[in-house]
């Protein structure tokens, strides 16, 4: 049996057309199916709406209690409540055409070890042309940075199907934010991702619940998945990305202060501080964003203290190289990079062995 999981928040008006759409599309296909609506206690009378449908359709309403509203958690709870071996997840707002459910299901039956995605970006797929440029770019950039994790053109899709037992332990899933499909793709035992082209249409009723906060959560979620997939290499990549941003700031200040007439070795000592502050801030909001936050001032101070060793190494290498050899005095940028490199390796090793030595989630 196919269990269709539909997470909802404030979608009561969309439920009747969705349910009729789903069962019309399955009519005469011989596919048996149930629909599980996982609603985060919307104050919109969804209970009555579902009650009127249960006489005619195999529909259930699940309303989880005791946690904040959370799309990904709702999907997981829906999967756990399902009776079928095969799961299909879709939005309630009719963005995902119910007519494609049989095709998605058949694709899954052809290869039960695959993760099947209703995809906007493969040939014959499409999305609403009324999308704003912002939303379009957003979606594309997000897709691009997931490329090393999954071979999928539309990893953000909320329309997907898979065999339930391909995910070993649902308690281990740990999505932050919206992208439960991506989480399942990365953590489940899937041998491939199969994409079925869909025509995604924007909702007619109600409004989207995606906002900037969700975008930031997405970056943290990605970081975590990179670590799951690539282990220490993922952490190094993340650390490197933050560090690269710091290096740019470092260089800007290093040259700018010299333009103002500061001697180069002093400029080198000064430019370290804005760079290290930027690294601190990025690590605070992105890398370690899930951890409880201490007051800015104190945390910055502690961070700076722990960076002092790195700073001594960084500046020390620069100083020794530029004052000791004519070569590095000619190519000061190389000396700077050598210093940054030495300090980065040192900091990373210390961080991973001492400061953040807890087990990964």
Residue 9 binding result from ligand GDD, Mn ion, none, given CB thresholds of 5 to 8 Å by partner type: ligand GDD
Report in angstroms how near the CB of residue 7 gets to ligand GDD at its nearest.
4
Burial class of residue 91 (count of CB atoms within 10 Å of its CB; 0-12, 13-18, 19+): buried
Q: What is the 3-class SS of the chain, one letter each residue?
A: CEEEEEEECCCHHHHHHHHHHHHHHHCCCCCCEEEEEEECCCCCCHHHHHHHHCCCCCEEEECCCCCCCCHHHHHHHHHHHCCCCEEEECCCCCCCCHHHHHHHHHHHHHCCCEEEEEECCCCCCECCCCCCHHHHHHHHHHHHHHCCCCCCCCCCCCCEEEEHHHCCCHHHCCCCCCCHHHHHHHHCCCCEEEEEECECCCCCCCCCCCCHHHHHHHHHHHHHHHHHHHCHHHHHHHHHHHHHHHHHHHHHHHHHHHHCCCCHHHHHHHHHHHHHHHHHHHHHHHHCCCCCCCCHHHHHHHHHHHHHHHHHHHHHHHHHHHHHCHHHHHCHHHHHHHHHHHHHHHHHHHHHHHHCCCCCC
Is 154 a binder of Mn ion (CB under 5 A)?
no
Report in angstroms how near the CB of residue 34 gets to Mn ion at its nearest.
23
**Among 101, 84, 95, which residue's Cα sits nearest to residue 29?**
101
Report in angstroms how near the CB of residue 154 gets to ligand GDD at its nearest.
8
In the bound state with ligand GDD, the residue whose beta carbon lies nearer, of 178 and 239, is: 178
Site residues for Mn ion, 244-273, by CB under 5 A, read: none
Report in angstroms how near the CB of residue 21 gets to ligand GDD at its nearest.
14
Report in angstroms how near the CB of residue 89 gets to ligand GDD at its nearest.
9
The contact set with ligand GDD (CB under 6 A) reads 7-9, 11, 38-40, 69-71, 74, 91-93, 95, 139, 156, 158, 178, 203, 208-210
Report in angstroms how near the CB of residue 173 gets to ligand GDD at its nearest.
15
Instruction: Judge whether 195 and 153 are in contact, CB under 8 Å.
Output: yes
Virtual torsion, Cα 236, 242, 245, 250, nearest 10 deg: -90
In the bound state with Mn ion, the residue whose beta carbon lies nearer, of 77 and 93, is: 93
Residue 210 binding result from Mn ion, ligand GDD, none, given CB thresholds of 5 to 8 Å by partner type: ligand GDD
Is 95 a binder of Mn ion (CB under 5 A)?
yes
Q: Which stretch binds Mn ion (CB under 5 A): 48-56, 91-99, 126-134, 326-334?
A: 91-99
Residue 40 binding result from ligand GDD, Mn ion, none, given CB thresholds of 5 to 8 Å by partner type: ligand GDD
Report in angstroms how near the CB of residue 134 gets to ligand GDD at its nearest.
12
Is 8 a binder of Mn ion (CB under 5 A)?
no
In the bound state with Mn ion, the residue whose beta carbon lies nearer, of 32 and 208, is: 208
Is 77 a binder of Mn ion (CB under 5 A)?
no
Report in angstroms how near the CB of residue 74 gets to ligand GDD at its nearest.
3
Is 70 a binder of Mn ion (CB under 5 A)?
no
In the bound state with Mn ion, the residue whose beta carbon lies nearer, of 205 and 270, is: 205
Which residue sits closest to ligand GDD, CB atoms considered? 158
In the bound state with ligand GDD, the residue whose beta carbon lies nearer, of 112 and 202, is: 202
In the bound state with ligand GDD, the residue whose beta carbon lies nearer, of 13 and 111, is: 13
Is 93 a binder of Mn ion (CB under 5 A)?
yes
Site of interaction with Mn ion (CB under 5 A): 93, 95, 203
């Amino acid at each position: 049996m196919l269990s269709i999981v539909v997470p909802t928040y404030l979608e009561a008006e969309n439920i009747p057309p969705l349910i009729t759409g789903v069962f019309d599309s399955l009519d005469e296909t011989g596919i048996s199916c149930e629909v599980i609506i996982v609603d985060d206690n919307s104050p919109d009378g969804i209970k009555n709406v579902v009650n009127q449908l249960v006489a005619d359709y195999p529909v259930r309403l699940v309303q989880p209690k005791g946690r904040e509203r959370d799309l990904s958690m709702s999907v997981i709870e829906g999967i756990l409540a399902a009776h079928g071996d095969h799961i299909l997840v879709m939005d309630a707002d009719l963005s995902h055409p119910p007519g494609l459910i049989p095709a998605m299901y058949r694709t899954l039956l052809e290869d039960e070890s695959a993760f099947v995605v209703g995809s906007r970006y493969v040939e014959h797929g499409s999305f609403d042309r009324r999308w704003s440029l912002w939303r379009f770019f957003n979606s594309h950039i997000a897709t691009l940075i997931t490329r090393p994790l999954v071979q999928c053109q539309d990893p953000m899709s909320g329309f997907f199907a898979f065999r339930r037992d391909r995910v070993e332990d649902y308690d281990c899933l740990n999505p932050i934010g919206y992208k439960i499909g991506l989480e399942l793709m990365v953590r489940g035992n899937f041998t491939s991702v199969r994409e079925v082209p869909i025509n995604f249409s924007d909702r007619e009723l109600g409004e989207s619940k995606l906002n900037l906060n969700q975008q930031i959560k997405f970056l943290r979620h990605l970081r975590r998945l990179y670590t799951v997939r690539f282990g220490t290499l993922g952490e190094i990549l993340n650390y490197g990305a933050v560090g690269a941003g710091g290096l740019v700031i470092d260089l800007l200040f290093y040259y700018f202060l010299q333009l103002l007439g500061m001697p180069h070795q002093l400029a080198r000592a000064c430019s370290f501080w804005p760079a290290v502050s930027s690294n601190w801030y990025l690590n605070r909001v992105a890398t370690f964003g899930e951890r409880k936050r201490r007051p800015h001032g104190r945390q910055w101070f502690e961070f700076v203290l722990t960076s002092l060793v790195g700073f001594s190494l960084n500046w020390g290498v620069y100083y020794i190289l530029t004052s000791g050899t004519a070569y590095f005095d000619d190519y000061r940028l190389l000396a700077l990079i050598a210093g940054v490199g030495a300090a980065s390796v040192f900091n990373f090793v210390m961080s991973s062995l001492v400061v953040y030595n807890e087990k990964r989630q």
